């Protein structure tokens, strides 16, 4: 099986390498030559291609001969996309069109892209581009996966909070009452494989996931926390399934599938949001952090104290 993976140097790309190295014939595509060189020392039997998904010609050439595509490359930081929306469009929308079009013209029948809960009823530039990313893959008949925050992934608050706590620094939290869906990278990969192994119909695969308050995530690492207020483009709670999508929803393994084109029922449902899911406790978050980061679990549970009053629950 020849598999083409965009964003090979990101958290998901590296985990795919770790799990399927030696099983798949992998071509990894990204812009980061230093990180590719670092990966090559560990995973030498992989073809690495330097390139940008914005460049259709380079992408088309690099993808030649692939049997399957996993599209994981994206601009992901909300604040960066908010300040540079046209750059987010070039990568997440036009770049995704390039990936889907190249796969289609190479006759590749299996391709999956990585969506986000922030693409459901989006309020920021990142979420809007991720919603369009799904629509593009669906239009080619390819499948999508959609999930929330991968716990401990590159750029997430988890490794940042851990490093700050180790240095005795104050942890900054925008709003401790915010809730976010949480899953592990292994669960994300399992969802991708479910989407790849299913018929290609332009469907969106969603895993049912617990959630966590941002304040509880911070409290799992330190009680020295400063509340700084919500940033532009942030939601209080995220959604994995919109109200309208319940008209096209079916159940799947540990989750749901939003059917790309056909109506399943006429009734709308209540949006599946992170404040309606089970919330992880601080000890559960500490246990998960110890596993993901490879560090000892704290012997006692921390309680959060802040430099200003917490906003009321909503």
pLDDT value for 305: 44
Q: Which CATH superfamily hosts domain 1-141? A: NAD(P)-binding Rossmann-like Domain (3.40.50.720)
pLDDT value for 311: 32
CB 280 within 8 A of CB 216: yes
In this prediction the pTM is 0.91
pLDDT value for 293: 85
Q: How many Å apart are CA 155 and CA 143, to the nearest integer? A: 26
Q: Determine which one of 14, 76, 118, 130 is catalytic.
A: 118
Give the residue from 135, 136, 67, 65 showing the smallest Cα distance to 99: 136
What is the residue extent of each domain of the chain? 1-141
pLDDT value for 152: 86
**pLDDT tens per residue, the chain (314 residues)?**
999 999 999 999 999 999 999 999 999 999 999 999 999 999 999 999 999 999 999 999 999 999 999 999 999 999 999 999 999 999 999 999 999 999 999 999 999 999 999 999 999 999 999 999 999 999 999 999 999 999 988 777 898 899 999 999 999 999 999 999 999 999 999 999 999 999 999 999 999 999 999 999 999 999 999 999 988 889 999 999 999 999 999 998 889 999 987 778 888 999 999 999 999 999 999 999 999 888 777 655 555 444 333 333 33
Q: Three-state secondary structure along 175-205?
A: CCCCEEEEECHHHHHHHHHHHHHCCCCCCEE
Q: How many Å apart are CA 22 and CA 26, to the nearest integer? A: 9
Q: Does the annotation count 167 as an active-site position?
A: no
Q: How many Å apart are CA 137 and CA 203, to the nearest integer? A: 9
Buried b (16+ CB within 10 A) or exposed e, 24-42: bbbbbbbbeeebbeebeee
């Amino acid at each position: 099986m020849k598999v083409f993976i965009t964003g090979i140097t990101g958290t998901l790309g590296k985990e795919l390498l770790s799990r399927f190295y030696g099983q798949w014939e992998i071509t990894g595509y990204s812009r980061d030559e230093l990180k590719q060189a670092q990966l090559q020392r560990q995973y030498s039997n992989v073809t690495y291609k330097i390139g940008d998904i914005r460049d259709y010609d380079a992408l088309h050439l690099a993808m030649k001969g692939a049997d399957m595509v996993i599209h994981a490359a994206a601009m992901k930081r909300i604040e960066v996309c908010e300040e540079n929306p046209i750059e987010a469009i070039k990568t997440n929308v036009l770049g995704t069109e390039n990936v889907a079009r190249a796969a289609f013209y190479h006759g590749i029948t299996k391709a999956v892209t990585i969506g986000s809960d922030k693409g459901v009823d989006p309020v920021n530039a990142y979420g809007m581009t991720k919603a369009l990313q799904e629509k593009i893959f669906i239009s080619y008949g390819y499948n999508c996966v959609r999930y929330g925050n991968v716990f401990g992934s590159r750029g997430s608050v988890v490794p940042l909070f851990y490093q700050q706590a180790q240095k005795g620094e104050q942890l900054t939290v925008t709003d401790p009452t915010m809730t976010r869906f949480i899953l592990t990278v292994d669960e994300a990969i399992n969802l991708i494989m479910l989407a790849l192994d299913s018929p290609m119909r332009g469907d969106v695969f969603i895993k049912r996931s617990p959630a966590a308050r941002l304040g509880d995530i911070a409290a799992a690492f330190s009680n020295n926390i400063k509340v700084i207020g919500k940033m532009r483009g942030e939601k209080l709670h995220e959604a994995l399934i919109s109200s309208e999508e319940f008209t096209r929803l079916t159940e799947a393994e540990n989750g749901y599938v939003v059917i790309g084109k056909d109506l399943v029922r006429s009734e709308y449902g209540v949006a599946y949001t992170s404040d309606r899911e089970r919330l992880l406790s601080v000890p559960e978050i500490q246990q998960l952090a110890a596993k993901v980061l490879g560090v000892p679990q704290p012997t006692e549970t921390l309680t959060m104290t802040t430099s200003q009053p917490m906003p009321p629950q909503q």
